[in-house]
């Protein structure tokens, strides 16, 4: 694995810190931090043994909701994978991709043993996060077609074999339109067919997140993919910071919104537990925030535009993958340092139940905001400020 000495000093997780408290205090703290509508999901011993053999940390939970009298329960099991690079960043592209594929196949096999219906990988899961370097070669060779590229074909076989919907966030090469590159999530249904793709709506231009050196904002909108296991959407990484982005997925009927990401550093970790959780509560759907783990070291030094010395590492990606329910209840996160699989079972009927409780969809005043936002897009917009 591509660990450095720096990683061994990282805090493993909040839950590891809380484990030093008494059981009574642990229970109280978890209720305050996570809510009370979740419980551990017991998995077969064969699953846990396989996870141990493959060296995957497992977090397994069930979101508690009320059975309905009229509608049948729509219970699904979701899995989210967080991993680190299996080889140094200097490994040849083909070797790196093959090693990453192998690790993903092991995780999907593990998820299948746990009867998972929907599986989501982390952002740009087939490659290092090389954008920090601002270099083009050989990194751009990781880009591939979304609909019929090698990674999609690889996952189509696994989706069909395991009756599983797979969300695959990759670096897309649009060979039809001038070889343009996009940050794209491909949705493969449980029959192995490509249901569609979503391109990242918002991209960062700060610190080492030099994504605009390689591609621009996406042009596919806010698609919601209707699968046999629910209506899902993908809000890729930086889109997490934009509340209107989350809103649009809800308006289009999403029941589960994934947020596959690459995140490192103290600045983002402060808000990592907040934004996807707030989005779930505000829009009455499930969210799942997914982050990679590990410290990726590159062959050439680069600077971050902050006046500090040049360096070769992007920083520690802190994992901490978690799921939030529509009522704001969330699962404990996977660790900050280990590869892992978060498996969560929940009833999609909970989305409507929470809507009925809060009635946000009735009082959000879309027409008022639509009017003001339309005016705000004009060059002659005057802010609505009252002065003496």
Catalytic positions are 123, 200, 237
Q: Which long-range contacts (CB under 8 A, 24 or more apart) does 44-52 make?
A: 44/113, 44/114, 46/113, 47/110, 47/113, 47/114, 50/109, 50/110, 50/113, 51/110, 51/341
User: Taking CA 79 as the corner, what is the angle to CA 127 and CA 71, rounded to the nearest 5 degrees?
Assistant: 140
In angstroms, what CA-CA distances link 314 with 4, 39, 225, 240, 303?
12, 36, 33, 20, 10
Best CA proximity match to 319, nearest among 261, 277, 242, 234: 261
Q: Rg of the chain over CA atoms, in angstroms?
A: 21
Instruction: Report the C-alpha gap between 248 and 224 in whole angstroms.
Output: 10
- Residues 295 and 317 sit within 8 Å (Cβ to Cβ): yes
Length of the chain: 388
Q: Which whole-number Å values give the CA distances from 174 to 29, 58, 131, 182, 183, in the listed order? A: 48, 36, 19, 8, 11
Residue 303's closest CA among 207, 217, 194, 162?
207
């Amino acid at each position: 694995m591509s660990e450095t000495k720096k990683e061994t000093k990282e805090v493993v997780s909040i839950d590891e810190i809380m484990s030093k408290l008494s059981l009574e205090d642990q229970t109280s703290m978890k209720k305050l931090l996570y809510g009370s509508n979740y419980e551990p999901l017991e998995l077969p011993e064969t699953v846990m043994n396989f996870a141990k053999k493959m060296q995957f940390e497992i977090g397994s939970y069930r979101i508690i909701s009320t059975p309905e009298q009229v509608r049948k329960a729509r219970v699904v099991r979701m899995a989210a994978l967080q991993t680190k690079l299996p080889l140094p960043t200097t490994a040849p592209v083909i070797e790196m991709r093959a090693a990453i594929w192998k690790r993903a196949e092991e995780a999907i096999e593990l998820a299948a043993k746990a009867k998972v219906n929907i599986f989501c990988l982390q952002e740009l899961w087939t490659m290092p996060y090389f954008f920090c370097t601002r270099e083009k070669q050989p990194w751009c060779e990781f880009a591939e077609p979304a609909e019929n590229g090698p990674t999609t074909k690889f996952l189509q076989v696994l989706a069909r074999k395991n009756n599983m919907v797979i969300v695959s966030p990759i670096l897309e090469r649009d060979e039809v339109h001038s070889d343009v590159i996009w940050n794209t999530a491909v949705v493969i249904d449980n029959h192995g067919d490509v249901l569609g793709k979503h391109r990242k709506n918002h991209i960062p231009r700060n610190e080492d997140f030099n994504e605009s050196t390689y591609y621009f904002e996406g042009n596919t909108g806010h698609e919601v993919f209707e699968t046999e296991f629910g209506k899902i959407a993908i809000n890729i990484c930086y889109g997490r910071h934009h509340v209107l982005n989350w809103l649009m997925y809800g308006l289009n009927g999403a029941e589960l919104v994934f947020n596959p990401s690459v995140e490192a550093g103290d600045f983002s970790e402060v808000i990592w537990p907040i934004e996807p959780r707030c989005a779930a509560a505000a829009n009455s759907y499930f969210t799942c925030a997914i982050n990679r783990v590990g410290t990726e070291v590159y062959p050439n030094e680069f600077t971050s535009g902050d006046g500090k010395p040049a360096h070769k590492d992007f920083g520690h990606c802190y994992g901490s993958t978690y799921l939030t329910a529509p009522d704001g209840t969330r699962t404990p996160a996977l660790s900050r340092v280990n590869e892992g699989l978060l498996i969560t079972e929940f009833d999609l009927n909970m989305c409507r139940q929470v809507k009925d409780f809060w009635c946000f969809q009735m009082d959000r005043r879309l027409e008022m905001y639509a009017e003001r936002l339309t005016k705000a897009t004009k060059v002659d917009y005057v802010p609505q400020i009252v002065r003496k």
